[in-house]
Structure 1
Amino acid sequence: MKNICTIVFVLLASFVNAQQLLPKTATDVSPLLIGESIPAITLKTIDNQDVALSDLFQKKRTVLVFYRGGWCPYCNLHLAALAEAEASLLDLGYQIIAISPDSPSNLKATEDKVNYTLLSDGNGALAKAMGIAFQAPEKYQSMLSKSSNGLNTDFLPVPSVFIVNNKGDIEFEFISPDYKHRISNDLLVAAAKSLKNETIK
């Protein structure tokens, strides 16, 4: 009987461990789909205060952006481009929220370049729950640890953009396993406009 219990325990432990393993590459991720809801997770603001995403979603429809960190030049280019589209998105009734594994203190360097909200997902709880986190290559691990103040050594988020309604439901998504390729402002604004028009109808 002891042997059977031991075997069952080992199998269960292996199963749980397998469930917690991150996808090995960016192309292996399985993101949430359109129509699914963003998990109710609390993140950190630049001032290191807790904030519930659901509370932010209730204020306005949201363009939710995941980027790798302020250390990534491609992410910085994308965030700067988003800043150029911000006025158009605000006119359509949207807010922009950008999320990375960077710690609140390290977000401040990026805050100087944009006006929209930046949030910290240092331990990757949100990125993992949304299915866009994958195993960081070894060469990134020390840098990720530094930028997250030690919370993250093992994951990267796939650069992603979601349009989310007030209930937190995904209405549009653009997932980019190739971190050098990002959604254009024209496509993003067109999608936001189309979704707003559908709501008005």
Structure 2
Amino acid sequence: MIKPTTQVPELKLPLINDTQWSLYDQTSKSFTMLVFYRGLHCPVCKSYLEALTKRLKDFSDRGVHLIAISSDSEERAKKAGKEWKIAELPVGYNLPIETAREWGLFISKKTSEKEPDAFSEPGLFLIRPDNTLYASAVQTMPFARPNWDDILNAIDYVNKNDYPARGGE
């Protein structure tokens, strides 16, 4: 488990727009937000990421860089990029299962033909510009994820009040 205020591991992934993304190359003013999702097979992920895409400007206005990440293959991730309403959202793919475990994500095995053999369950991480963890929320299933308005309000409060990271002990 990565604890708040500790350095997070470097993360480098290909994006569905045929570019490369690196966590340590981000130069956000407040946070980089990593949104780990289950993959193409997940209708809850589709709705969640489509709602996030509608709020991209709100996050950008707060100095937040973000990325959605899955263990999906290039083919599956690009299919989600085309079929879901997430055209403006940076989407990374090919997250190795071992890397997902390093981030403290729960791993599930396929229970239907629509699912890949293994995939990570959802997680949301707010990373400070110095690449330390500020906050995280990790789920064992696709339901009960943090609400985007709640995350935006929290970012506003944290930035206005210089609220410290909690839970590091």
Asked if these proteins are the same fold (TM beyond 0.5), I'd say yes
The answer as to whether partners of 2:28 and 2:64 remain within 8 angstroms in 1 is: no
* SS of the residue 2:119 aligns to: strand
Q: How many residues align?
A: 159
Aligned to 1:132: 105
Residue number among 44, 52, 58 corresponding to 2:14 in the alignment: 44
Distance 1:197 1:140, change over 3 A: farther
- Spell out, residue by residue over 1:137-160, the C-alpha distance to the aligned partner (whole angstroms, 9 max, x if none): 34258731xxxxxxxx3x332211
How many angstroms does 1:170 deviate by? 1.3
CA–CA separation in structure 2 for the residues paired with 1:65 and 1:121: 14
Structure with larger Rg: 1
Q: 1 CA distance for matches of 2:11 and 2:63?
A: 23
Out of 65, 68, 72, which is 1:98 matched to? 68
Matched position secondary structure for 1:58: coil
Stretches (4+) displaced over 6 A: none
Partners in 1 of 2:113 and 2:105 — Cα distance? 18
CA contact under 8 A between 2:71 and 2:97: conserved in structure 1? yes
How far, CA to CA, are the matches of 1:50 and 1:84 in structure 2?
23
Structure 1 spans left out of the alignment, 5+ residues: 1-30, 145-152
After TM superposition, the structure 1 stretch with the greater mean CA deviation from structure 2, 99-108 or 69-78, is 99-108
1:108-187 equivalent positions in 2, closer than 5 A: 108-112=78-82, 113-114=85-86, 115-134=88-107, 136-140=108-112, 143-144=115-116, 153=117, 155-187=118-150
Q: Quick one: which amino acid aligns to residue 75 of structure 1?
A: C
In the alignment, the residues of structure 2 paired with residue 110 and residue 196 of structure 1 have an alpha-carbon distance, to the nearest angstrom, of 33
Aligned partners of 1:98 and 1:119 also within 8 Å: yes
Q: Give yes or no for contact 1:68–1:156 (8 Å, CA) kept in 2.
A: yes
Distance 1:53 1:109, change over 3 A: same
Q: Which amino acid aligns with 1:71?
A: H
> What is the identity, as a one-letter code, of the residue corresponding to 1:106?
R
Q: TM-score, normalised by structure 1?
A: 0.69
Distance 1:197 1:188, change over 3 A: same
Q: SS of 2:104's equivalent?
A: coil
1:70 aligns with 2:40: yes
Distance in 2 between residues matched to 1:107 and 1:62, nearest whole Å:
21
Tell me: CA distance 1:39–1:141, structure 2 relative to 1, closer, same or farther (3 Å). Answer: farther
Q: Alignment RMSD, CA only?
A: 2.4
Identify, as 1 or 2, the structure richer in helix.
Answer: 1
TM-score normalized with structure 2 length: 0.80
Unaligned runs of 5+ in 2: 164-169
